[in-house]
Amino acid sequence: MGATRITYQGACVLQALSRGLSYGFDIMELTGLPSGSVYPILRRFEEHGLVESEWEDAHEAHADRRPRRRHYRLTPTGRAELAAAGERLALHRNLFLDGGRTEEATS
């Protein structure tokens, strides 16, 4: 799945998952991304094997008087992709820092 192009938003979702978050709504909260972005990203990653999901046990949720939830976690592939994406994003960060200096110089 090396061909997967991971966007900035995608990297954020992966990063949130790697921090142990596993529900869509929590990821939204942490990353600030809207639901219309988070869920499609999760589905795409799952198709490409970066993420796997599991429905929690229905009995357990029922006992808790709430609907059962689907939770997501990173696969090893997902972890590797996140690392690669992290390197690329670090480059982006440099780009932004450079840009900042250039701006200071010209003003």
Partner 1 sequence: MTRGHSWAHRALAVVLAWISRIVPAGRRSRWLEEWRSETWHAFDSGKAAAWTAVAFGWGALRDARDVRRRTRGPGFAETTRQDLRLAIRSLSARPDYTALVVAILALGIGANTAVYSLAREALFAALPYPDSERLVRVWERRPEQGRERNVASLPDFVDWRDRSTSFQTMTTYRGSSRNFATDGPPRRLLGAEVTRGFFRLFGVEPALGRGFTPEEWSEQGEPVLILSHRLWREAYAADPGIIGRGVSVDLIRHTVVGVMPPEFDYPYEAEYWFPRTDDPSTAGRGSHGFNVLAKLKPGVGIQAAGDELDAIARRLETEYPGTNRGHYTAVYPLRGEILGDTGPVLVLLLGAVGVILLIACVNVANMTLVRSAARTRSLAIRASMGASRSRLVRQQLTESLLLASVAAAASVFVAGWGHALLRGMSASHVPWAAPLRLDFRVLLVAMGLAFVTGTLVGLAPAIAASRLDVGSHLRDGSRTTGLGPTARRWQGGLVVTQIALALALLASAGLLARNLAALLDTELGFDTRNRIVGDLSLPPSRYSDAGAVWQFYASLQDRVAAVPGVTDAALAWILPMSGRQVGRNIWLEGRPPPANGDEWNTRLRAVSRGYFDVVAMRLLEGRSFEAADGPEAPAVALINETLRHRYWPDGSPLGARVAFGPDGPWITVIGVVNDVRHEGPQRPPDPELYLTLSQEAIDEVSLVVHTDDGAVVTPAALRAAVSEVDPDQPLADIRTFDEAVAAWLGERRDVASLLGTFALVALALAALGVYGVVSYAVAQRTSEFGLRMALGGRGQDVLRGAMSGGLRMVALGLALGGLAFLPASRWLRPMLDDVPATDPLALVGAFTILTLVAILAVLVPAIRATRVDPADSLRAT
92 binds partner 1 (CB under 8 A): no
What minimum distance in Å lies between the beta carbon of 96 and partner 1?
Answer: 28
- Looking at the Cβ atoms of 47 and 98, the one nearer to partner 1 is 47
Which candidate, 77, 61, 72, places its Cα nearest to that of 24? 72
What minimum distance in Å lies between the beta carbon of 100 and partner 1?
Answer: 32
Rg (CA), the chain: 17
What minimum distance in Å lies between the beta carbon of 45 and partner 1?
Answer: 13
The interface mask with partner 1, positions 42-81, x = CB under 8 A, is -xx--x-------------xx--xxxxxx-----------
Residues binding partner 1: what is the number (CB under 8 A)?
A: 22
Interface with partner 1 (CB under 8 A):
23-25, 29, 34-40, 43-44, 47, 61-62, 65-70
